[in-house]
Structure 1
């Protein structure tokens, strides 16, 4: 009789062990599901434009060429006024707000209001492009920290009043760029423009029509 009782007890202990193991596995499964749900759906990895020689880097590292191309693209879009600066400039600031820090966006909005009040935007058409031969160089981007950079853009700024050219200037714009991962849906670059790092510098003086009106940049 004791032989059967021992077998039953052994069976019960084995069942209890299996139940405990199932509980442990269930807890581990819940932890794994929770970690999977909380993990990011998208991971942005920055690669330099020229991949002919390959690239090995930490996933969070942003290469200087990427920072430069981002700064140039956003700044060029901010200064693209195809019809009328009175409406185009505020519209550009609004549509690009996801790529601007709050401080920079506020400064740009104040600048737009001041220039509009001074009559510097009415019926102005504006566009900028890189100075030929002065694109990206090794010294175009200064790494301030892992999350911030200073980008120097050598650009040609052209302005027209209706169809008449009123301003052409070759200017070096020192811009601040920071890491900005707050909203990947609206800003897949993970970077933001933080306006100027210093006062823009005129590279060359170009002939200007007599009706020129001064602007901040």
Structure 2
């Protein structure tokens, strides 16, 4: 009788241990399922443009050439007014709003309203381009074509751009301007902003006042002026 009782006790203990093991496995599977469901379905990996010598880097690090290319592309597109600045500029700000921080977008909207009220936009055609020979260099992060790292998610790109404006077929502006623009990482809308980057920061668009370097018909490569320039 005692032998049977011990056998029954051993069986019950084994069943209890199996139930406990099953319960633990269920919890582990639930945790794995939750992790799988919450894992991102898309991961952005930034690759530098020149891979002739290979590249090894952390996946979250954005190479400086990518930062510079993004800043030039967005700034050039924002400032292209093919027919009428009063309509084109406003449309660009709205169309490329996902590439701007809220503070930078607000700055550009205010700047638009100020220039419109002064009659500086209606009928005006504008183009902006990278000055030849002043593309990405980064030999001096604060110099032309440089990108200065603030932290993992914030940078300052120095863009030396040529700005051409005309009204009724007559040139009214043809100057070189240096734009020190903020660039920030943001991953809130990968569908409309696959770069995962935005122009600006919480402070605005610029890390300093844009400076006029000279005029397009000036052959000098040196900075000719520190005069404040219109964006």
TM-score, normalization by structure 2: 0.85
Partners of 1:21 and 1:52 in 2: CA distance: 54
| Offset of residue 83 of structure 1 | 1.5
Secondary structure of 2:30 counterpart: helix
Name the structure 2 match of 1:166: 172
Is 1:151 aligned to residue 161 of structure 2? no
Name the structure 2 match of 1:204: 214
Name the structure 2 match of 1:6: 6
TM-score, normalization by structure 1: 0.90
Secondary structure of 2:176 counterpart: strand
Partners of 1:46 and 1:163 in 2: CA distance: 42
Kindly indicate whether the alpha-carbon contact (under 8 Å) linking 2:162 and 2:216 is maintained by their aligned counterparts in 1: no
| Offset of residue 34 of structure 1 | 1.0
Partners of 2:170 and 2:126 in 1: CA distance: 12
Name the structure 1 match of 2:226: none
Name the structure 2 match of 1:18: 18
Deviations 1:113-135 (A, max 9, x none): 11111111111111111111111
Name the structure 1 match of 2:221: none
Partners of 1:101 and 1:67 in 2: CA distance: 15
Partners of 1:203 and 1:119 in 2: CA distance: 25
Name the structure 2 match of 1:110: 110
Quick check: 109-118 or 4-13, which moved more? 4-13
Q: Which runs of 5+ in 2 are unaligned?
A: 141-145, 218-228
| Offset of residue 166 of structure 1 | 2.4
| Offset of residue 172 of structure 1 | 1.3
Partners of 2:72 and 2:25 in 1: CA distance: 53
Name the structure 2 match of 1:51: 51
Name the structure 1 match of 2:187: 181
Partners of 2:163 and 2:149 in 1: CA distance: 26
Is 1:65 aligned to residue 65 of structure 2? yes
Secondary structure of 1:196 counterpart: coil
Q: Which runs of 5+ in 1 are unaligned?
A: 208-214
| Offset of residue 12 of structure 1 | 2.5
Is 1:38 aligned to residue 38 of structure 2? yes
Partners of 1:22 and 1:203 in 2: CA distance: 73
Partners of 1:178 and 1:16 in 2: CA distance: 56
Quick check: 72-81 or 158-167, which moved more? 158-167
Is 1:83 aligned to residue 90 of structure 2? no
| Offset of residue 149 of structure 1 | 1.1
Partners of 1:18 and 1:53 in 2: CA distance: 57
| Offset of residue 96 of structure 1 | 1.0
